[in-house]
Amino acid sequence: MPLHPQVRAMLDQIEASGLPQLNELSPVDARKQAKLMTELVGAGPEVARLDEFSIPTSAGKIAARRYVPVDPAAVILWIHGGGWVICDLDTHDAMCRLLATESGCQVVAVDYRLAPEHPFPAPLEDSWDALRWVAEQASGQPVIVAGDSAGGNLAAVCALRARDRGGPELALQVLVYPATSGDLTTSSCARYGSGRDTFMTLAEMEWFWAHYVGDVPDDSGLEFRPLRAQDHSGLPPTIIVTAEYDPLRDDGFAYAKALRNAGVPVTHHHYDDVVHAFFSLVNVLDRGNEAVAQVGA
């Protein structure tokens, strides 16, 4: 299926702007460029309550933002994407507002430390500490761990840790185009890693991974490549969202298959006319709003 007209228009606008690829920038400048998408997305819906606070971690404190709808039914920890290098609470604010509204759940978004200043395992440890804190504060409400792209990677690893370390108990994991394999030779990387139909390039993926894991030995990679876990059984029910025009498409499909083979209930929503990052581009792409609503249903 061809790209959705809104996606095509967005990609053409980006191309016409002459913005460099992220891998051509320093991490600091890449973060500034990512902020431009925040301006493009604009504001999300109002929620009943919005709290700015910090979560204690083993390394100090990280900033967090809580989106509270009326009578929340559960707590979602949202771990943002951005290749472990870019993005923050503001880049995903509109999406988190919409998710809280559509799901009727409290959403807690966390601003974990970023690579390369804080490479693996710092983003993971911050996410894990945040998950445990959220569970402790949940007052008996169901706890859901969720994230997009690199955040989906961190959410998946946190779910594996929760299983292996005796908790916290998770009601659900939501993985939006997650990076699960670290394999940059998949067919979707080859097909969608460059060209006019690409939002995130293969060169950018290589740049992200290099900043995150650097020279970490490959044999220690189970905690940044959840697809390689020896056992995927005992994980919570899972929602996986994938995009067709995305180098990470195959990672999402492979993880859905691995979980199903291990007996984990999986709901897989595949959008065949969109690119990577569409889920967070609410207000810009109708498919983003639709996907958030579908996850929240």
Q: CA dist 33 to 23, 41, 268, 281, Å?
A: 12, 14, 31, 15
Cβ distance 76 to 236 under 8 Å?
A: no
> Among candidates 31, 73, 279, which has minimal Cα distance to 176?
279
Q: What is the per-residue pLDDT for 215?
A: 74
Reading the chain (297 residues) residue by residue, the pLDDT tens digits are 999 999 999 999 999 999 999 999 999 999 999 998 888 899 999 999 999 999 999 999 999 999 999 999 999 999 999 999 999 999 999 999 999 999 999 999 999 999 999 999 999 999 999 999 999 999 999 999 999 999 999 999 999 999 999 999 999 999 999 999 999 999 999 999 999 999 999 999 999 999 999 877 666 557 899 999 999 999 999 999 999 999 999 999 999 999 999 999 999 999 999 999 999 999 999 999 999 999 998
The residues assigned a catalytic role are 149, 246, 276
Q: What is the per-residue pLDDT for 40?
A: 86
> Among candidates 96, 163, 93, which has minimal Cα distance to 128?
163
Single-letter amino acid, residue 164:
D
Q: What are the chain's domains? A: 5-296 (3.40.50.1820)
Cut 0.85: pTM above it = yes
DSSP string, 61-89: EEEEEEEE-SS---EEEEE--STTTS--T
Q: What is the per-residue pLDDT for 214?
A: 85
